[in-house]
Amino acid sequence: MSESARRPYDLATPAPNGLRRGRTTGSCATAAVKAALTLLLRGEAVREVEVSLPDPDYYLVVPVEKVERLDSGAVRAEVLKYGGDDPDNTDGATIFAEVSANGTGAIRFIAATGVGTVTQPGLRIPPGEPAINPVPRQMMRWAVDEVLAGEPDPGFDLAIGCVDGDKIAKRTFNPMLGIVGGISILGTSGIVEPMSLAAWMASIEVYIRVALGHCPDAIAFTPGKIGRGYAADTLGLEKKEVVQIANFVGVSLDYAQQTLEEQQARLGTLWVLGHPGKIAKLLDGVWDTHSSKSGMAMGSVAAVAAELGFAAELVEQIEKANTVENVVQIVRNEAGARAYWMEIERRVAALMAPKVPSVDRVAVRLFSMDGTPLGEAAGDASGEAA
């Protein structure tokens, strides 16, 4: 779509569950970068900026709290994080950017006060880098290009921070993930979808009823986006037959069973598709996989590795991994890797099945963060997209 045809994203329009959407830390940091650059390069102190979103049809208008020149020659801009109705540890936090030209012709991302630094493998950002995820980095690059508007690019240092971010981070998983010093700058769409509330659970029930409404042979549950491509391309499911259940695994199974009982119907196959970081938590009897209500799954996946006869050193590595994605990397080259993930799939499916007696078969398929099939799906030639 052309630049002129883009539309502002309206945060005042509620999500399908009736709740308010918000701005990610990534959108806030990008807005701060754009406001700071506008003063640095154009001499204009703006009160709001347009942030380009990954969806090319939209941009987001973000208010700017403050923008000022620093004695160092850099410019600092501040933006308040707004999480909508989603419970979020960073809601109301001040996200800031301190921007200066560096003369290298390249953008350098820096962790300012309150933004963490990655210290362990297994995340989307390598150790030693600021905890600024790939999509927010791309959004900031777009912002730089938009302010330059074709002028020569001297290169810029983008120092991203958060007021009291070190304190906020203690209420998150960051310390366990090996992210030290503050929060992470996150977001894949630039928009916070209010998913982790009771009202969202009610909307999931509606989606499940729609999925089962025409008595299909199969439907799929996905905690997030991972696995949706497999559902469409390999399983041949319609869009309405794939339900994004967020963290609410247990209640989603209950909704499916209740709906099937009301219909006096049976479902041939319930597919459960996603990343083992969420799904493997069920091995510990966890049915709500939100980080505030559950621990991480390394202990349970390490126990499976031990039972399958993996070397003691490898089991210890798995147990000490900082994320389950790190476990994916640790076992990737092991001869028994696929069998290992297949066993986890089998065990999780066996735990789910008793909750849905009206389903003939529960089948779990696991994928890495980039959508690579890990277990049974790795045998499907076309099973690859997230």
The pLDDT value given to residue 62 = 98
Residue 264 CA: distances (Å) to CA of 189, 205, 213, 355: 39, 17, 12, 16
Residue 136 CA: distances (Å) to CA of 140, 179, 188: 6, 17, 8
Question: What is the tens place of the pLDDT at every residue in 65-86?
Answer: 999 999 999 999 999 999 998 7
Instruction: Reduce the DSSP state of residue 321 to 3 states and report it.
Output: coil
Question: What is the tens place of the pLDDT at every residue in 303-347?
Answer: 999 999 999 999 999 999 988 899 999 999 999 999 999 999 999
The pLDDT value given to residue 255 = 93
Q: Is the Cβ–Cβ distance between 292 and 271 less than 8 Å?
A: no
What whole-number distance in Å separates Cα of residue 208 and Cα of residue 261? 13
Residue 375 CA: distances (Å) to CA of 121, 270, 367, 378: 22, 17, 8, 5
Instruction: Give this prediction's pTM.
Output: 0.61
Torsion angle, alpha carbons of 198, 200, 206, 211, to 10: -130
The pLDDT value given to residue 310 = 95
The pLDDT value given to residue 195 = 59
Instruction: Reduce the DSSP state of residue 313 to 3 states and report it.
Output: helix
- Greatest mean pLDDT among 187-196, 273-282, 354-363 lies in 354-363
Q: Is the Cβ–Cβ distance between 270 and 311 less than 8 Å?
A: no
Give the CATH number of domain 3-192. Answer: 3.30.2110.10
Question: What is the tens place of the pLDDT at every residue in 156-193?
Answer: 999 999 999 999 999 887 887 789 999 999 988 999 88
Q: How many CB atoms lie within 10 A of CB 383?
A: 21
Q: What average pLDDT does range 209-235 have in this prediction? A: 91
What whole-number distance in Å separates Cα of residue 211 and Cα of residue 259? 10
Q: Is the Cβ–Cβ distance between 87 and 196 less than 8 Å?
A: yes
Torsion angle, alpha carbons of 383, 254, 193, 99, to 10: -70
What whole-number distance in Å separates Cα of residue 258 and Cα of residue 242? 18
The pLDDT value given to residue 107 = 98
Q: Is 285 exposed, middle or buried (0-12, 13-18, 19+ CB in 10 A)?
A: exposed
Q: Is the Cβ–Cβ distance between 60 and 191 less than 8 Å?
A: yes
**Do the bridges between strand 117-118 and strand 179-180 make them parallel or antiparallel, or are there none, so unpaired?**
antiparallel
pLDDT band at 204 (very low <50, low <70, confident <90, very high): confident
pLDDT band at 197 (very low <50, low <70, confident <90, very high): low
CATH 3.30.2110.10 residue ranges for the chain = 3-192
Lowest mean pLDDT among 54-63, 128-137, 372-381: 372-381
The pLDDT value given to residue 89 = 86
Extract the tokens encoding 238. 């319609």
